[in-house]
Amino acid sequence: MTFLYDIGRVLLDFDFESSLVKLFPPGTTDAESRLERLLARKDEFESGAIHVDEYIDWALETLGSPATPDEFRHFWQRIFTPNEPMWNRVRQLHAAGHRLILFSNTNAIHCPWVFDFYPEFSLFHEAVLSFETGFIKPQPGIYQYAIDTHSLVPSETLYIDDLPDNIATGREFGFLCHQYDLRDHAAFEDWLATHPI
């Protein structure tokens, strides 16, 4: 069986705000609105439409931050916390010989860094990463890209994602879908038990 796995809030929880707030100079009074402007362009960045250096320069200007580009990269990367119940399941699926593919909206600052920082990503055989495709979920193009590039049979592919819009598009393509909730891993295990693997 093939498993198509989102990363954010499935394999790794994340919190941009708590990390990026460290980039502000003391006395910044409008940090929240500056962060909103920064994250409003995240989809554009994650689709590969903005080059990394361009995004970092714009981000530092938007934040009013004296940080260096390397410091920005550091805090942009340090937003993750592993979701251990799901990683335990991933280890079991890998040991059982299932095909594991990452399917994530992400960017060139997080990848490949995150794969080095969390070596267990090596359990995944392949990856579809938004910034490399020119599309982001839930755009149909990235789903078709995944199917074509990895010769997926949607009716034989279990797709796990936390966002309802992404799941909706997955269902339109015929994937076997589960909308994951970090607070209710047991629901995922119950769903998985209904699929012969």
In the prediction, which pLDDT does 196 show?
Answer: 85
User: 51: domain range?
Assistant: 14-77
Task: Based on the fold, state whether residues 19 and 72 are members of the same structural domain.
Answer: yes
Residue 46 burial by Cβ neighbours in a 10 Å radius (0-12, 13-18, 19+): buried
- Mind listing the pLDDT tens digit for each residue in 125-179? 999 999 999 999 999 999 999 999 999 999 999 999 999 999 999 999 999 999 9
Q: In the predicted model, what is the mean pLDDT of the chain? A: 97
Last residue of a domain, one of 49, 77, 105: 77
Q: Is the pLDDT of residue 14 over 90?
A: yes
Q: How far is residue 162 from each of residues 14, 17, 25, 29, 62, measured CA to CA in Å? A: 12, 19, 34, 33, 29
Task: Tell me, yes or no, whether 149 and 169 share the same domain.
Answer: yes
Decide which of 31, 48, 77 is a domain's last residue.
Answer: 77
Residue 197: what pLDDT?
Answer: 83
Per the structure, the count of domains in the chain is 2
Same-domain status, 176 and 155:
yes
Query: What's the pTM?
Result: 0.96
Q: Provide Rg for the chain, Cα atoms.
A: 18
